[in-house]
A = this chain, B = another copy of it.
Amino acid sequence: MDLQAIVDEALDYADHYRGHGALASYIPALAKVDPNKLAIALVTGDGESYAAGDADELFSVQSISKVFTLSLALNQVSAGLWNHVGREPSGSPFNSIVQLEAEKGKPRNPLINAGAIVVCDQLIGSRDADAALDEILAFLRQRCGDRDIGIDMDVALSESRAGNLNRSLAYFVNAFGNLSNPVEEVLSVYFRQCAVAMSCRQLARAALYLAYDGVDPLTGEAVVTPSRARRINALMLTCGHYDNSGDFAFRIGLPGKSGVGGGVLAIVPGTGVMVVWSPGLNAAGTSLAGAVALERLVELTGWSIFV
């Protein structure tokens, strides 16, 4: 397959949807992003990368960061993590609080906001917030071999200012004894991890270990155990897009994670990682043009975990 030609064709195809959808207006700093951005990057296990559009431009990774933090937290607290957070799809929007009440403060899975807040708390452990955040950044930099990866503090601040719903979720979880660190300490990790700025190409490179059973194919480093890599992929497939996860699995057929910054990550086990970016979102908070591009990529490559 001529992967570059395929990436180009997918970008062309998605170009009709450039600018469609709505920016994530509830975070003012995200609402300022140019809605016409559109990018695709594909990195394969041999280290090749294929890109189109604004694939080296930094954007706010938002919830895509949940996948990396989950990897680190699993390495740190192991299966004990599952005492604090479940692994079932929620059937609800990303910020819903309804199930938390019925399920006594244990979030459904680590990829919805409440669950990711609990994962941040576990990653902090007995350290302080900054130490946990440093670990996240060091991890991303090492995966990409790029020391410049950092946080967009304007976005982090905007996120915290607009963070009433996430604060509500965190206090709710805390009311059931499911946080071991103070709410604001935990949220300071959560908001800043969401505000990490990376490009499509960097994100695809960083997630490569998830396509290779936990081993970074370029460095040979065992990032997570094979079992954890598979399970993180399983969680992405069932829970990676909130109440749109089923439809994503149905249409794209690959484990993935979307962020309200407009990025979407998709893992192709044994082959590589694709990342698309376009800031306009559909009703479920997934990049509209990005999902179109991914669907086209899948059509052209025939990649799917279901065949």
Interface of A toward B, CB cutoff 8 Å: 86-92, 96-101, 108-109, 164-165, 167-172, 174-175, 183, 213, 226, 229-231, 233-235, 237-239, 243-247, 249-250, 253, 255, 269-270, 304-307
Q: Contacts A98-B98, A175-B168 hold; do A269 and B237 have CB atoms under 8 A apart?
A: no
In the complex, which of the residues B98, B109, B250, B305 contacts A306, with contact meaning CB atoms closer than 8 Å? B305
In the complex, which of the residues B87, B97, B100 contacts A250, with contact meaning CB atoms closer than 8 Å? B87
Q: Is the CB of B88 within 8 A of A99?
A: no
Q: Is the CB of B244 within 8 A of A249?
A: no
Q: Is the CB of A239 within 8 A of B246?
A: yes
In the complex, which of the residues B100, B246, B269 contacts A305, with contact meaning CB atoms closer than 8 Å? B269
In the complex, which of the residues B90, B171, B269, B306 contacts A168, with contact meaning CB atoms closer than 8 Å? B171
Residue of B nearest to A172 (CB): B168
In the complex, which of the residues B86, B164, B174, B306 contacts A172, with contact meaning CB atoms closer than 8 Å? B164
Q: Is the CB of A88 within 8 A of B172?
A: no
Q: Is the CB of B245 within 8 A of A172?
A: no
Give the docked Cα–Cα distance between A286 and B288 (Å): 37
Residues of B within 8 A of A109 (CB): 246
Q: Is the CB of B168 within 8 A of A230?
A: no
Residues of B within 8 A of A233 (CB): 306-307
Residues of B within 8 A of A250 (CB): 87, 231, 234-235, 238
Q: Is the CB of A86 within 8 A of B234?
A: no
Residues of B within 8 A of A226 (CB): 307
Interchain residue pairs A-B with the least CB separation, the first 9: A91-B91, A164-B175, A88-B246, A168-B171, A89-B89, A233-B306, A168-B172, A230-B306, A305-B305
Q: Is the CB of B175 within 8 A of A171?
A: no
In the complex, which of the residues B183, B230, B231, B246 contacts A235, with contact meaning CB atoms closer than 8 Å? B246
| A67: min CB distance to chain B, Å | 13
Indicate the member of A183, A229, A307 with the most B CB atoms within 10 Å: A307
Q: Is the CB of B231 within 8 A of A89?
A: no
Give the docked Cα–Cα distance between A138 and B57 (Å): 56
Q: Is the CB of B86 within 8 A of A246?
A: yes
Give the docked Cα–Cα distance between A96 and B233 (Å): 28
Q: Is the CB of B269 within 8 A of A213?
A: no
16 contacts across the A-B interface (CB closer than 8 A): A87-B250, A91-B99, A91-B108, A96-B101, A167-B167, A167-B171, A168-B170, A226-B307, A229-B306, A229-B307, A231-B253, A231-B306, A235-B246, A237-B237, A238-B238, A238-B246
